[in-house]
Amino acid sequence: MHPAVKHAKVPGKLLMVGFGCIGQAVLPLLLRHLEVRPGQISIIAASDDGASIAREFDVDFERHVLTEANYLSVLTARLSVGDFLLNLSVDVSSLALIELCWQRGALYLDASIEPWAGGYTDTSRTVSQRSNYALREAVLAFAHGKQGGPTAVVTQGANPGLASSFVRQALMNMAADSGVPVEKPHGRQVWAALAQGLGIKVIHIAERDTQTTPQRKQRDEFVNTWSVAGFIGEGTQPSELGWGSHERGMPIDGARHGFGCDAAIYLNRPGMATRVRSWTPLEGPFHGFLVTHGESISIADHLTLRQNGTVVYRPTVHYAYHPCDDAVLSVHEVAGKNWQPQSRQRMLRDDIVRGIDELGVLLMGNPRGVYWYGSRLSIDEARRLAPFNSATSLQVAAGVLAGMVWALHQPQAGVVEPDDMDNEMVLAIAQPYLGELVGVYGDWTPLEHRTQLFAEDLAPDDPWQFRNFRVL
């Protein structure tokens, strides 16, 4: 474990908002590695799920459903200078909690930027206005001019979160493999120039989850290895992706936002209904869901090069997610019901009997071939490493722990994204909980075995065009 962990002291109280699968997964790690006592920690959650786990660790637990109308009355008196708010909730506005922490002098971390309940489905706003892109832009607008205030780390879990560190480590590995000595870059423009020099055109957050249980999915049931509500929420949002400078044509259902950094586009189609071709070393080729995720936008934005105000380089970046097999069946069923959720939900954890989560980043365009870098974590190893975890949840919990340690050592950094943090420090802290951390080259392209089978609308002269990845 990185030396910084030994001196990561929470000076005040630690308030956890939300205690679902990720909150339950991360609590043992916090008590194991941070200088914090159970009596310093309190939990506020929307349901009693996990209350017995909190009691097992002698941590105070209260049930409150936080809303725009009551969050100030519930939280204000609980936060002061030196405290830390760890937000692992859904349906609670991240921006509202960031603003409150800023006013109270407290540190903050979340694993995704969330709106208030109903924010993703509010049809009084445009698709663009209720996107992850818009949520990120609102947080960045708040952060403008506040670089010296209490640290608020946004979107620091596994993906988003560790994915940004994976990208930077992958770039350094590829540079070293090319035989050209490269010092660790400092500043986003230098990282972007490195990616451009390596010929990177496309980056997938490529994930294949093979965890399974003896009890297979039943009718009218949604099964997943992490929050069912969280997956349905993000999966029914429009697909979003960072849009590369090499792309020759906009998707027929694609659109730009018309404001902000302009590093991403969205599709007028839910992520659960949008599939793309991708690859991981153990699984090989697969079809994944292009579900909107914050790292698709932030990585693309941080790897953008401009000359005289014009973008000269940016990779296309997006998620390519193949969840566990029962989750795929669950998505198929909910899609058939026009995105109306099943009446029953089941999150897999203690009943998982086998499988791994192969989570990493796939960098494409380099002459040597595609390069995947990331974590291979099995359910057996996850259980050996920490209680109340699956392989999926422990990868997220590792990212949360690393982000909190970084924030405790940088308490006046203002609002920061994973791309702003020291990737070597973050990975060193998270690595003990990530199983096998590996980099693998491959010769796969999205055109493999396709050009002679069907008369598809492909771009054979450039395999890295988005139209070649998309499954129609």
pLDDT tens-digit readout, 43-74 = 999 999 899 999 999 999 999 999 999 999 99
d(CA 454, CA 458): 10
CA distances from 193 to 176, 196, 302, 304, 361 (A): 15, 5, 11, 9, 19
Res 456 pLDDT > 80: no
Least confident of 229-238, 274-283, 328-337, 369-378: 229-238
pLDDT tens-digit readout, 150-172 = 999 999 999 999 999 999 999 99
Res 273 pLDDT > 70: yes
Phi, psi of 444 (to 5 degrees): -70, 145
Least confident of 142-151, 312-321, 356-365, 462-471: 142-151
pLDDT score, position 16: 98
Q: Provide the pairing of β-strand 238-242 with 264-270.
A: antiparallel
Residue 35 DSSP symbol: B
Q: Give the residue among 120, 118, 82, 114 at the shortest CA–CA distance from 101.
A: 82
Res 353 pLDDT > 70: yes
pLDDT score, position 5: 79
pLDDT tens-digit readout, 397-442 = 999 999 999 999 999 999 999 999 999 999 999 999 999 999 999 9
Of the chain, the end-to-end C-alpha distance in Å amounts to 45
Q: Give the residue among 233, 257, 300 at the shortest CA–CA distance from 127.
A: 257
d(CA 23, CA 13): 16
Q: Residue 388: left if φ>0, alpha if ψ -120 to 50, beta else—which one?
A: left
pLDDT score, position 451: 65
Q: Provide the pairing of β-strand 107-110 with 84-87.
A: parallel
pLDDT score, position 206: 98
d(CA 98, CA 380): 37
d(CA 37, CA 27): 11
Task: Name the band, by pLDDT with cuts 50, 70 and 90, for residue 452.
Answer: low
d(CA 60, CA 242): 41
Least confident of 107-111, 178-182, 322-326: 178-182
Res 380 pLDDT > 90: yes
Stretch 252-268: mean pLDDT: 97
| 389, HSE (Cβ side, Cα atoms, 13 Å) | 28
Non-local CB neighbours of 1 within 8 Å, separated by 6+ positions: 33, 428, 429, 432
Contact present, 10 and 40 (Cβ < 8 Å)? yes
Long-range contacts (CB closer than 8 Å, 24 or more residues apart) made by 252-257: 255/127, 255/128, 257/128, 257/131, 257/133, 257/134
Domains of the chain: residue spans and CATH: 3-153 (3.40.50.720), 162-390+432-471 (3.30.360.30)
d(CA 292, CA 242): 10
Res 186 pLDDT > 90: no
Res 465 pLDDT > 90: yes
Q: Give the residue among 34, 25, 31, 85 at the shortest CA–CA distance from 58.
A: 31
Where does residue 114 rank: exposed (0-12), middle (13-18), buried (19+ CB within 10 A)? Answer: buried
CA distances from 375 to 160, 359, 361, 396 (A): 14, 5, 9, 11
* Max CA pair span of the chain: 66
Res 368 pLDDT > 90: yes
Stretch 237-243: mean pLDDT: 96
Task: Name the band, by pLDDT with cuts 50, 70 and 90, for residue 211.
Answer: very high
| 320, HSE (Cβ side, Cα atoms, 13 Å) | 29
| 186, HSE (Cβ side, Cα atoms, 13 Å) | 1
Stretch 372-379: mean pLDDT: 98
